[in-house]
A and B are shown apart, each in its own frame.
Chain A
């Protein structure tokens, strides 16, 4: 279907501000009388605060006040505290100090006496699961509270037996009891029938989010409201949590978050330190700026969970996967963390459609920074572990690596996971086919293993999955008497431009010229609806639905107003983007501006004086504030749902691996997305490429390293934690899309931000494996020294299940 706006490129309104330096991020704001805040961080990986004596600090000139754990809103265990009474990782904030400048604040921190009682700690889940092993929390070592409808796993002390450990062979993950599991089909029967069975243990490293903008924050109180200039991927979605942290009602928060310098999941919801400037400002009566340093960002900025896992895969002679048995032990940081380990099971089940599958998981706490979702949590780590094994099976069975994937791939309606959910649409096979044609797979694969001096060619294909949308949020649009369409959008600005690309759905429905539209976003004072945040590859689906239903409501109201004023029934009228007119007699019309004025005069539902009962209280507050300013279109998304919206990527890669140095060079790269109708081609390309760059880092560079003896971090700088640079990525990157609509999305759109990471990471790992004649390292990242060791026939410098390796 041809659309006026959807599928077309445009210049998002915030791009010019980004290239001119006019875009204001949190640390770019100033407030009269602003003072500065610094944090006293835990020097121990796990401790109990016995006492805090800040009296000397408070006597210092220029010091305005301190916040201790007793001064901040308490958080229920195991949620991360704002300031910790029981710090559980090195770098966790314990005390905040406000002073005239940062140097004074830092000097004051030196004078604060914090008496800490050291507690046992661990940075290795297997150590914690060993009988008598240390617990990362004083109330246990295992637990997971999110997400519904899966029941929570309570915080508990959970150990395997010594016999479990003894039973595992050297380098194999022990298979002690799991805290969560599901299965379907006859798993052991599948393995019995299989021609080829693998049983492999693997490790994927935890990695930091390292957003370029550290989460600095400015807050002050004015006229009974708390103003927060924060760095957030989301707007309205975080407000209830942020209000809870500050200890006020959601309508007392004014959040200004028009720009966000990267989040990748770590700024999806409000985070504890975001409340510190607000709480400090309340205490001392001055605006408070808290600048977070790069090192501190590595402490409070979250990370992706690492896995120690084991997978059994049973293949039929033709490559069909008969059975899979996955066990994931997750390092989840010291508090709530994220359910990556569950997502890993879903991904294997969906992407390979094993006829029978069992999944087991244990989420273990560790004394390392808080974990949260990072771009494709679990879905991406597991592709790094499994995709190279699929290649290995293809090689042993003599099946083409593309064909083995096509053979196992899902399609629309395919079931997956413990609850045997279905997906709303799936065109992964199309993505693989389109990519293979464009990449010239059949020709390129002939280059596998080709030697050129010390360099060997590797060619590979890989895939990944992520859910691609949610539903049930609110849409809000407004036509003002000047004829402009205002699309109120409560999503954040992570840099995907979906705040505008999804707003174009509303413009499309109302047939408006884009030049006549204003996207209202980024500031609570713009009166925004209840929307989900900008995470989970969801906005292109979720926000398309909300903007669609709001626009449909506005169209209905335009027609009703026309019928009232010009006679006839609403269905006698149509719209053309500037006016509503009688179908039978187009000269009988009202402009959008005139209709907006009439809506104001008519009041009631037309101007927002009345509104649907089922919309969220935050949307209601926004409609109330906007009422009487124009024609209001507002509705909750109750459009039909049929299965989990799902996004898929097929990635193709061609590399050259230098066996003498272990360095690789990516010569060609192509990422093909199944993301439904393409809503914004340029935006899609940036997501596919950007995610792939993160994937290259995940495969071969990035890691979070903690010293097992002292719990000290070794990766608190960009140089050590190693996000990919210009020189780590191919000189040119290419993207494409299947561009087939999802049937449950009004205009067919669905999200796709996350699977590019896992597909590119897996593709690079598969290509390295290909260049090495099929050797699989069962680990991320694969570093050059691992390649050199393998080539030289030397043992690796780490044990197979060892974590915190360089």
Chain B
């Protein structure tokens, strides 16, 4: 981080002050990391965000340290006002299982659940989910790696092909079965229809959903 912190200094005192304040915050985060409570991807806290202007954070100092409940853990993370949940998950919390297929709410590869309801994380602002229970694909397996029944059904039915849309498909299936444990195949198809699959693995995915539902 030594190199990239120097990049944060610009001409002008306010920017330098901001850089200094950031340094302090970074030190703080380092300590939190040491306690094991925060993000593994700290190297990306200050950069690399699509649609997240570094300038905006320098000028306004509005990147905020917030708490998110992700996969049953409280994660502390710096978030810009315009940051999407997908970017926070992928670039700050190291949860790259959530995929970006379109980044514009068309494909569903970024599907996560908020309080057990599916959302496109590419089109959800991170600041808006502070008090929500966020579950990503990484949060489904048991403590010893045992697969969630939906994941196991996806394996048994050879659901995935390329696999890129699979995390989103699994999340939609999990949310469906939470609300409707015994869906008809038609209901399952409607519930899954927000998730595109260019490989065309729909039939196998539906077979997996029905298997997970015990039918």
Contacts and interface: CB of A to CB of B under 8 A. Distances in A.
Interface of A: 9, 11-12, 14-25, 27-28, 30, 32-36, 61-62, 100-104, 210-214, 259-264, 289, 291, 293-294, 493-497, 682-683, 685-686, 689-694, 717-719, 723-727, 729-733
B160 A213 contact: no
Contacts of A11: 155
A213 B199 CA distance: 11
B214 to A, nearest CB: 18
A62 B7 contact: yes
B163 interface: yes
Given A259-B164, A726-B193, 17 more contacts: A15-B158, A15-B163, A16-B155, A20-B97, A21-B96, A23-B163, A27-B100, A212-B107, A212-B109, A212-B196, A261-B163, A497-B158, A689-B201, A718-B196, A726-B202, A731-B185, A731-B189
B170 interface: yes
Contacts of A211: 162, 164, 198
Report which residue of B101, B159, B163 has the largest number of chain A beta carbons within 10 angstroms of its beta carbon. B163
A19 B104 CA distance: 23
B54 A19 contact: no
B141 interface: yes
A407 to B, nearest CB: 32
Nearest to A18: B163
A689 B160 contact: no
Contacts of B4: 33, 100
A683 B101 contact: no
Contacts of B193: 725-727
Interface in B102-155: 102-104, 106-107, 109, 136-138, 140-141, 147, 151, 154-155
Contacts of A289: 48
B161 A690 contact: yes
Nearest to A723: B198
Nearest to A494: B162
B196 A717 contact: no
B193 to A, nearest CB: 4
B198 A293 contact: no
Interface string B160-183: 111111110010000000000000
Contact of A717 (B106, B137, B159, B199): B106
A797 B108 CA distance: 33
A690 B201 contact: yes
B13 interface: no
Given A103-B49, A718-B196, A727-B189, A20 B101 contact: no
Closest 9 CB pairs of A and B: A21-B97, A693-B200, A261-B164, A18-B163, A495-B161, A21-B137, A495-B162, A690-B200, A28-B96
B164 A694 contact: no
Nearest to A680: B158
A27 B110 CA distance: 13
Given A21-B98, A717-B106, A686 B192 contact: no
Contacts of B155: 11, 15-16, 19
24 contacts: A14-B163, A19-B155, A19-B160, A20-B140, A21-B167, A35-B48, A62-B7, A100-B7, A103-B52, A104-B53, A212-B164, A213-B164, A259-B164, A261-B162, A261-B163, A289-B48, A493-B162, A497-B158, A683-B158, A689-B200, A691-B200, A718-B106, A723-B196, A727-B190
Interface in B190-215: 190, 192-193, 195-204, 206
B104 A32 contact: no
Contacts of A104: 53-55
Interface in B24-53: 41, 43-44, 47-53
A534 to B, nearest CB: 11
A351 B54 CA distance: 60
B92 to A, nearest CB: 11
A732 B138 contact: no
A210 B198 contact: yes
A14 B36 CA distance: 30
A62 to B, nearest CB: 6
A727 B44 CA distance: 39
Contact of A61 (B10, B151, B201): B10
A683 B161 CA distance: 9
A289 B50 CA distance: 12
Interface of B: 3-4, 7, 10, 41, 43-44, 47-55, 90, 95-104, 106-107, 109, 136-138, 140-141, 147, 151, 154-155, 158-167, 170, 185-186, 189-190, 192-193, 195-204, 206
A762 B44 CA distance: 49
A692 B48 CA distance: 39
Nearest to B56: A103
Nearest to B109: A212
A17 B138 CA distance: 11
Nearest to B186: A731
A719 B159 contact: no
Contacts of B50: 102-103, 291
B197 A212 contact: yes
A503 B92 CA distance: 38
B203 A729 contact: yes
B101 A102 contact: no
A14 B158 CA distance: 11
Contacts of A494: 161-162
Contacts of B53: 103-104
A19 B101 contact: no
A495 B102 contact: no
Nearest to B82: A103
A33 B4 CA distance: 8
A212 B202 CA distance: 14
Contacts of B196: 212, 718, 723, 725
Nearest to B106: A718
Contact of B151 (A20, A497, A729): A20
Nearest to B44: A30
A213 B99 contact: yes
Nearest to A692: B200
A729 B106 CA distance: 18
A293 B48 CA distance: 15
B71 to A, nearest CB: 11
Nearest to A32: B43
Contacts of B160: 15, 18-19, 495
Contacts of A15: 154-155, 158, 160, 163
B28 to A, nearest CB: 22
A449 B214 CA distance: 38
Contacts of B109: 212
Contact of B101 (A100, A214, A731): A214
B124 to A, nearest CB: 17
Nearest to A263: B162
A36 B48 contact: yes
B136 A733 contact: no
Given A33-B4, A496-B161, A690-B161, A718 B137 contact: no
Contacts of B162: 211-213, 259-263, 493-495
Contact of A20 (B10, B137, B164, B200): B137
Nearest to B161: A495
A732 B52 contact: no
A258 B98 CA distance: 18
A726 B41 contact: no
Nearest to A28: B96
Contacts of A693: 197, 200, 202-203
Contacts of A730: 203
Contacts of A24: 96
Nearest to B94: A30
A293 B103 CA distance: 8
Contacts of A496: 161
Nearest to B166: A18
Contacts of B163: 14-15, 17-19, 23, 259, 261, 495
Contact of A686 (B7, B41, B201): B201
Nearest to A64: B7
B51 A732 contact: no
Contacts of B197: 212, 693
A690 B204 CA distance: 9
